[in-house]
A and B are shown apart, each in its own frame.
Chain A
């Protein structure tokens, strides 16, 4: 029986889908995580503690393990593990994109440098130290501009500034986020800088693809029908297939393949975010991993296999009968966090499930937990999934279901029984 190393962080939503896919394929899994698993002792061959921030020792641990228990593929479920996965695969001589390519994709500034050098349409950009002053760089880049971390995910920390006062507020806010111990501790150089880019107007799409021998197969193209114009860039609805004209979709695929080629990405899943305007497609970012959160549940291929099974089959060199997505339209809403506080209740779920086309609603934040909206936050309240005959019907179902949900979020101080102080993120947001 083949064995797969799945690198997944303890904060991931993705472990279950990959383990389920591995189970269907009859593949043994060893889970590599940054912290020990609860039942590591019960199944010593089933897990490894691997710190993705310490790639060298982690790779040595993988190689030692593989000497006793041969590994046939290495797959990272999340951003955090992709460089370790690339390094481990290289050490074991397994199919994977190279470490240099993956590292370039993980560092937004490095990615911009490479794409610009390759003559690929890019915004003006500069890297700014968090201890520095962004105003000179902003004058060169021009307003409106976007400040973003070099390596955070899911729009966390990304903010638009239309003028210098907004720039300074956003800069201070992002610098504060990057200085948080839990971020700075693992951040290395990426935690000491941020990227300042010129704002690219246009509609945004997400491309899910699989690279094989340098060839890109587009697995799905998602429209993001909610405008993403700032001041923060909260992703909400993804719907596929795209309603863009076919030539525009082809241009997006071509641009993505060119970006992947320029970075040296040639194997494995990619998740790319692009903007489309009258000048054509612009790469916002490309990640050498599959779509995040629970969003992959929207995707079914061929006879109904999951995205994760497709990825594992590719990594293991198993036959893939079809890369074709099902005929139905599908979509997901990542339920945004409307304000900071403590989640007290999530009501209306039964009514929301009754909306035609809605398949599932998952509230993923436990009652009683603190919730933090973007740009500091990194979670959603949950996910709504829908399928239908058309993208329009799916989008309408997602919005109707969301309208039926109600979230009781108490200010943190009130939830603790204290006074009514406005939570910090809200107070800061008033500066916009």
Chain B
């Protein structure tokens, strides 16, 4: 179900040897979704960390463990290792759609077509993390993270448009750590920005 290129396999082996863990397995997982699509996780684990429902792939010199939740979205994936002027690293070529749930597809379209072009003017972006039942989970970044007006952006813009476009959605949950915002567009002050009248 997963193709590991010769370059990727060679790099994995080199890393296993460098870490003196030649008996370890490679765990491959999808840990979320972001602006660029799926977000992947690769790490070495002990053979004893294989779960009962893991999909196990024998890559020759090492094994790959894939958890059951990630497996459907890793079907047909090619793992490659690329090197170039912009840096080097593992790259996933994934033929699967980022979202299959029609509600998630519709919400993503709202974000792509309307919300993100708008917040981009303030240096921000909104990422769809998940849609579970009728609840949408999002994260705000860039100028939106920690912005004093993020509640207005959320309730007067994002929530309104998502609910209009996808009426089945009842709640939008902002999971952002706003205290971690490094460059919020508007910054709050207790007495207001320009307190003179």
Contact = CB atoms under 8 A, between A and B. Distances in A.
A265 to B, nearest CB: 16
B181 A10 contact: no
B156 A46 contact: yes
Interface in A42-64: 42-43, 46-47, 52-53
Interface residues of B, number: 41
Contacts of A292: 190-191
B54 to A, nearest CB: 33
A186 B187 CA distance: 18
Which of B124, B152, B158, B183 has the largest number of chain A CB atoms within 10 A? B152
Given A38-B144, A39-B157, A42-B118, A47 B197 contact: no
Given A39-B161, A379-B190, A29 B156 contact: yes
Contacts of B151: 15-16, 19-20
Contacts of A16: 150-151, 155
A79 B115 CA distance: 30
Given A154-B191, A334-B190, A380-B190, A43 B156 contact: yes
A365 B148 CA distance: 10
Contact of A151 (B121, B190, B193, B195): B195
A39 B192 contact: no
A369 to B, nearest CB: 7
Contacts of B83: none
Q: Determine the interface band of chain A, counting residues with CB < 8 A from chain B.
A: 35 or more
B61 interface: no
A11 B187 contact: yes
B179 interface: yes
Nearest to A156: B191
Interface stretch (A66-74, A187-195, A202-210): A187-195
A364 B186 CA distance: 12
Contacts of A362: 179
Interface in B97-132: 114-115, 118-119, 121-122, 124
Interface string A254-298: 000000000000000000000000000000000000001100000
B153 interface: yes
10 contacts: A9-B193, A9-B194, A12-B148, A23-B155, A39-B114, A41-B118, A42-B161, A153-B195, A362-B179, A366-B182
Given A37-B157, A80-B194, 13 more contacts: A12-B148, A20-B151, A39-B153, A42-B115, A43-B160, A79-B197, A80-B193, A153-B191, A153-B195, A185-B194, A187-B196, A366-B179, A379-B188
By Cβ-Cβ distance, the 6 closest A-B pairs, closest first, are A39-B157, A11-B193, A153-B191, A16-B151, A187-B196, A154-B191
Interface of A: 8-13, 15-16, 19-20, 23, 29, 31, 33-35, 37-43, 46-47, 52-53, 78-80, 83, 103, 106-107, 149-154, 156, 182-188, 190-191, 292-293, 334, 346, 362-364, 366-369, 378-380, 382
